[in-house]
Structure 1
């Protein structure tokens, strides 16, 4: 049975297939793999540890000279993601129905939360297949959009609420950055060690993708309704699509830009956090929560498909490989 060959034929197959398989198991048989021991540790709870190891390995391939590239790409994606989410959210706030507080059935805080907060695991998995080491190492910058902080910043700028302290943790950011820095140190001290570690990087993708899938429940799509699905579609097309063209304009791998077009699972808690900080958002907090949850699942399914479509388009002009070739000095 040619498992690897089959997965290679599917765009993002090493990530998509394990993730969707796990999501299916989690939806219909949620306790099947939650039996403790090594089984649960590997198939359910391993994503954070495996992603950290993946980032460490990526760091071993980063030289002090190329580190600037990672920072540029990560910062660019972070800004694009926030600007798009904030802009669409602002439009929704201005045009929202006075009685329901909704815009076309969507809560403005759900729009901002879903569009400004990306699924880091999904980004790492997709970039692991289509990007370079400096693309992977951009992840710590992107981790800054975790949680409600940037959503709060957007609302504060709009005058919808005052800035609330304690929503950004420098320690959490450092905790994401450390594995990459350790990898950079190892790789720069011993290139042979870095080359040896690099061989194992790609092997981690299907395993942490499966673990990520065990956190997805397809029923969230039903609970979030058409509004939540639409929010997920908009997140992929707007944040992923615009980032694709911006990266392409800069001469960077556009697939890396598109890989940021998702909603993170931790964004589900953002509406409640905002409502706790400002009671004015309490009436829409519940519907915003289910809409963000639906967007999380929708983007997890749709983004890899969207990436596959974009990869096929790029094949007409030389494909992704031309962006990953080392530049001649």
Structure 2
């Protein structure tokens, strides 16, 4: 008997990240002592998010082709630069009103500069590539090779320092990017290594989601409530508006910018990694993880819907850059949610 587990997971936007994450969160809520009780490899599977993520960054780095074409450099560079610049501006503005600690006793309780920067500074690469694969061009998909630099805590730590909050030792900043650079070096030197390492990324995402979820209690997620949803909507619409404008100004249709208006699944790990590097953020890390997780869910669902709506609008106006409705419909499992958009990175 065959059970289509993988197919069922992929029907959920960002499912390969979100389903394991929710599974781990449920287990952590109903049986929080599971990792300690079983220990050994089971305990490592449920608590090893940091080493899994480190290996993921090596594999992700290997997928970056340093010989990218000028178009890829232009497209990816514009989206990457505007995304980071927006996060810097938000970090600087929020840093004028907040410290490293989360907001207490208000409608925005739990919100912090850490949560804002982590949610805004990292794009869901799987979602972007799937959406541009359906509604854009192959070279638009390849532009994400530049945007992968966003992955990990490095840029978040750098932005927090620029915002005037607690800085990080240079060793920590360099250490955060070494795995990515190592992967880039291996992939550039040997195409076979690029293929070998990059093919492991989806598997690592799945297990990273499980380990990450085990560190989140659903009771805490419920407490995020409206603040988490609002954070996701702000990322989707404010980030989407800025990226859309930049994409249009650099010769694109705007689809690429809208497709990048999401929060990456691995961004949920950034607050804890930042706190591990600088204890000043320890109190904010827990609430920030919950809020960023909510932003991941909101943007994983909202971004495909916005992109599909705009692609239909372009098609109605005869823009050749967008696929026709009949083409998009044949590749989509349901209206507005492309079949390939169910991978989170």
Q: TM-score per shorter chain, which class? A: 0.5 to 0.7
1:43-62 residue CA offsets vs partner (Å, 9 max, x unmatched)? 331x3333333332333333
Q: Are the equivalent residues in 1 in contact too, given 2:262–2:296 (CA < 8 A)?
A: no
Measure the CA separation in 2 of the matches of 1:103 and 1:312.
39
Structure 1 unmatched runs, 5+: 94-100, 157-162, 278-284, 325-329
Q: Are the equivalent residues in 1 in contact too, given 2:21–2:213 (CA < 8 A)?
A: yes
1:211-237 residue CA offsets vs partner (Å, 9 max, x unmatched)? 2222222222454565x3465345433
Q: Are the equivalent residues in 2 in contact too, given 1:12–1:126 (CA < 8 A)?
A: yes
**What is the root-mean-square deviation of aligned Cα atoms in Å?**
4.4
Q: Are the equivalent residues in 1 in contact too, given 2:56–2:201 (CA < 8 A)?
A: yes
Name the count of aligned residue pairs.
Answer: 292
Aligned position for 1:214: 214
Q: Report deviation, 1:15.
A: 1.7
Matched, 1:201 2:201: yes
Q: Report deviation, 1:270.
A: 8.9
Aligned position for 1:84: 90
Aligned position for 1:159: none
Structure 2 unmatched runs, 5+: 133-140, 313-321, 333-339, 341-345
Tell me: CA distance 1:122–1:27, structure 2 relative to 1, closer, same or farther (3 Å): farther
Matched, 1:38 2:34: no
Aligned position for 1:146: 156
Measure the CA separation in 2 of the matches of 1:27 and 1:206.
20
Tell me: CA distance 1:28–1:171, structure 2 relative to 1, closer, same or farther (3 Å): same
Aligned position for 2:319: none
TM-score, normalised to structure 1, is: 0.67
Aligned position for 1:135: 144
TM-score, normalised to structure 2, is: 0.64
Tell me: CA distance 1:312–1:32, structure 2 relative to 1, closer, same or farther (3 Å): farther
Measure the CA separation in 2 of the matches of 1:15 and 1:212.
10
Aligned position for 1:115: 116
* Greater Cα offset, 289-298 or 180-189: 289-298
Q: Which residue, 291, 295, 313 being the options, matches 1:295? A: 291
Alignment of 1:205-284 (within 5 A): 205-223=205-223, 226=226, 228-229=227-228, 231-238=230-237, 240-242=239-241, 244-246=243-245, 248-249=247-248, 250=250, 251=252, 253-254=256-257, 257-260=260-263, 264=268, 267=271
Q: Are the equivalent residues in 1 in contact too, given 2:235–2:295 (CA < 8 A)?
A: yes
Matched, 1:192 2:198: no
Measure the CA separation in 1 of the matches of 2:20 and 2:262.
18
Q: Are the equivalent residues in 1 in contact too, given 2:88–2:162 (CA < 8 A)?
A: no
Aligned position for 1:17: 19
Aligned position for 1:96: none
* Greater Cα offset, 173-182 or 124-133: 124-133
Q: Report deviation, 1:135.
A: 2.5
Q: Are the equivalent residues in 1 in contact too, given 2:212–2:269 (CA < 8 A)?
A: no
1:108-167 residue CA offsets vs partner (Å, 9 max, x unmatched)? x945332122388984665676675662663444634435x644643x5xxxxxx76xx1
Q: Are the equivalent residues in 1 in contact too, given 2:62–2:188 (CA < 8 A)?
A: yes
Measure the CA separation in 2 of the matches of 1:193 and 1:267.
31
Q: Are the equivalent residues in 1 in contact too, given 2:87–2:121 (CA < 8 A)?
A: no
Q: Report deviation, 1:302.
A: 2.3
Measure the CA separation in 2 of the matches of 1:50 and 1:124.
18
